[in-house]
Structure 1
Amino acid sequence: MNDDDLMAGVRAAFDLIDPVPETVVSAGRSAIGWRMPSARLAGLAADQPERVVDGVRGGPDRSLVFTLPGLSVEIEVAGTGRDREVTGRIVPSCPAAVHVRHRDLAPDGLTTRADSTGLFCLPQVPEGLVSLVLRFEDAASVVTSWVRL
């Protein structure tokens, strides 16, 4: 018996005793489909709840900043319940297509445009893990790290 035979036996035993649930396999395949190898990653640099002023309606908003060298994406998240409103801006200002990645949405299901000043608004983003994809006019792409809204 060599190492390959031993590993095949171990794999078969785990498949029989404790198989991986199909939902986990499906989620893994879906995650691989969300990869964007040519996109640059903007990592989360700041995540701060906004201060709620007494006597003002509404819940607390949240400010997030994603950065990479030469670019930042600033967003504010408002709302409670199932959907959130996400408003943001790209710094330095430039137009771009903005796509939301979320497990309950089709790949291009929730899209908007950032105008020439870099401002954009997504009025109904589902709660849960979310990442934004920015596609610029020069064909460059940036993805934000995943955050829970």
Structure 2
Amino acid sequence: MIGEEEVLSSLREIAGRHDPVPPDVLAAARASLSWRNPDAALAELVRDSLDRLISVRGGMPRVLTFLGGSLTIDVQVITRAGVVDVVGELAPVTAARVVVESPGGTHETTADGEGRFRIEGVTPGPVRLRCEPEVEGAFVPVRTEWVQL
């Protein structure tokens, strides 16, 4: 009699040969584990201008607001030529390292002394921001929830 574990093992092998997981899906899953930081606060999406726009001519930028811990992250998303530019501002105003994370890779910059930052050439798709203060105690490191750009 064949055991349950042997049947499951055979099914995994057959599925792996005939319908393998796409390489980009595996890469995204592995990359997501490297982005974990249990000490970072989660910033939730509290406003998305896309929710109010049905059809806009002229390509108005999308505006997102995230709130996490004591930090507010306002972001303007501009789509051009198949890529996305992310322009943002942190409140309270502080210098910080800002990283856009996506399955396509990471883009990093520094928010200036006015809390402003810009990252260009992000691949459209699921992204999240990571903000780490340059000044100890300015705020707890923050990661936004994933959003589709």
Q: How high is the TM-score relative to the length of structure 2? A: 0.79
Q: In percent, how many aligned pairs have the same letter?
A: 31
Which amino acid in structure 2 is aligned with residue 121 of structure 1? R
Residue 42 of structure 1: aligned partner: 43
- Give the number of aligned pairs: 139
Residue 127 of structure 2: aligned partner: 130
Equivalence map 1:5-24=2 (5 Å): 6=4, 8-19=5-16, 20-21=20-21, 23=23, 24=25
- Over aligned residue pairs, what C-alpha RMSD do you find? 2.6
Q: How high is the TM-score relative to the length of structure 1? A: 0.79
Give the Å deviation of 1:143. 0.8
Q: Residues 12 and 104 of structure 1: is their aligned pair in 2 closer, same or farther, counting only changes over 3 Å?
A: same
Gaps of at least 5 residues in structure 1 are none
> What CA deviation, in whole Å up to 9, does each residue of 1:24-46 have, x standing for no partner?
44432222122122211101111
Q: Residues 112 and 26 of structure 1: is their aligned pair in 2 closer, same or farther, counting only changes over 3 Å?
A: closer
Gaps of at least 5 residues in structure 2 are none
Any conservation in 1 of the 2:111–2:117 contact (CA below 8 Å)?
A: yes
> What CA deviation, in whole Å up to 9, does each residue of 1:65-119 have, x standing for no partner?
11123221010111233112211111111110111112222x4xx2111112211
Q: Residues 11 and 34 of structure 1: is their aligned pair in 2 closer, same or farther, counting only changes over 3 Å?
A: farther
Any conservation in 2 of the 1:99–1:134 contact (CA below 8 Å)?
A: yes
Q: Separation in 2 of the partners of 1:30 and 1:59?
A: 32
